[in-house]
Structure 1
Amino acid sequence: MPAVMTLKKVVFSAVLGLAVVGYGTAQASVTTSPENHLLSTLNYVELEAEQGDKNMQLFLGRAYLEGSNGLKADPMKGMYWLEKAAVDMPEVKTMIGDLFKAGQVLPRDNLRAVQWYMEAAKDGDVPAMVELGAYYASGATGKVDCGNAIKWFNEASNGGSLESKRNLVWLYATCSDERMRDGERALKLAKQVLKRTGTGDAGDYDNLAAAYAACGEFRQAIEAQEVAIEKLEETNTQRYVKFENRLKLYQQHQTIYMASL
Structure 2
Amino acid sequence: PGLEINFLFRRVRDDVMAETGNRQQPFTYGSLPGEEIYLSAPTAKSVATGNGARSQTSAGLQSVETLELALWNEVRDSHSVELLQQFLTRFPNGIFSAVARARLAEAEKGQTIARLEQPASRDGAGQQLQSSASREITQCDILASHPADPNRLAEGQSSADLARNVDEAIAACEAALVKHPGDMILSALLGRSLVIADKYVLAKKVLMAPAQAGNALAQASLGNAYEYDEVGGVDLKEASTWYRRSAEQGFVTSQYNMGVAYEYGTGVEKDMREAARWYRLAADQGDNDARFNLAILFYNGDGVEKDLAQAARYYRLAAEAGHPDAQINMGYITERGEGVGKDPAEAAQWYLKAAEQGKAIAQYNIARAYYYGTGITKDAKQAAFWYRKAADQGDTDAQYGLAYLYSEGDGVARDDLAAAKLIAQSLKGGSAYTLKEMSTNSAAWSRKFRVELQRILREEGVYSGKLDGAFGASTISAMQKYAG
* TM-score in terms of structure 2 length: 0.36
**Candidates 394, 401, 413, aligned match of 1:207:** 401
CA distance in 1, matches of 2:268, 2:238: 11
Structure 2 counterpart of 1:94, one-letter code? F
2:272–2:302 CA contact under 8 A, matched in 1: no
| Aligned residues with identical type, % of pairs | 17
State the partner residue of 2:435: 240
SS at match of 1:105: coil
Structure 1 counterpart of 2:329, one-letter code? E
Deviation string, structure 1 residues 92-114 (Cα, Å, up to 9, x no partner): 21121122234433344343222
Q: CA deviation at 1:189?
A: 2.9
Q: CA deviation at 1:120?
A: 0.5
1:227 is aligned to 2:456: no
Larger Rg: 2
CA distance in 1, matches of 2:377, 2:328: 19
SS at match of 2:237: coil
1:182 is aligned to 2:387: no
State the partner residue of 1:256: none
State the partner residue of 2:475: none
Q: CA deviation at 1:156?
A: 0.6
Q: CA deviation at 1:152?
A: 0.9
Q: CA deviation at 1:242?
A: 2.8
CA distance in 1, matches of 2:378, 2:253: 44
2:396–2:431 CA contact under 8 A, matched in 1: no
State the partner residue of 1:91: 289
Structure 2 unaligned segments of length 5 or more: list them: 1-120, 122-207, 228-234, 447-484
Deviation string, structure 1 residues 1-57 (Cα, Å, up to 9, x no partner): 565614755555557999xxxxxxxxxxx953499x68xx97x863x22xxx22344
* TM-score in terms of structure 1 length: 0.60
1:90–1:123 CA contact under 8 A, matched in 2: yes
State the partner residue of 2:369: 171
Higher helix proportion, which one?
A: 1
2:384–2:412 CA contact under 8 A, matched in 1: no
State the partner residue of 1:259: none
**Candidates 232, 237, 254, aligned match of 1:32:** 237
Structure 2 counterpart of 1:122, one-letter code? E
**How many residues end up aligned between the 2 structures?**
226
Q: CA deviation at 1:119?
A: 0.8
| RMSD of equivalent CA atoms | 4.7
1:173–1:214 CA contact under 8 A, matched in 2: no
CA distance in 1, matches of 2:349, 2:366: 9
State the partner residue of 1:149: 347
Deviation string, structure 1 residues 143-165 (Cα, Å, up to 9, x no partner): 98542332111101222323322
1:109 is aligned to 2:109: no
CA distance in 2, matches of 1:68, 1:100: 21
1:203–1:228 CA contact under 8 A, matched in 2: no
Query: Quick one: structure 1 residues 230 and 213, their matched pair in 2 at CA, closer, same or farther if it must change by over 3 Å?
Result: closer
1:5 is aligned to 2:203: no
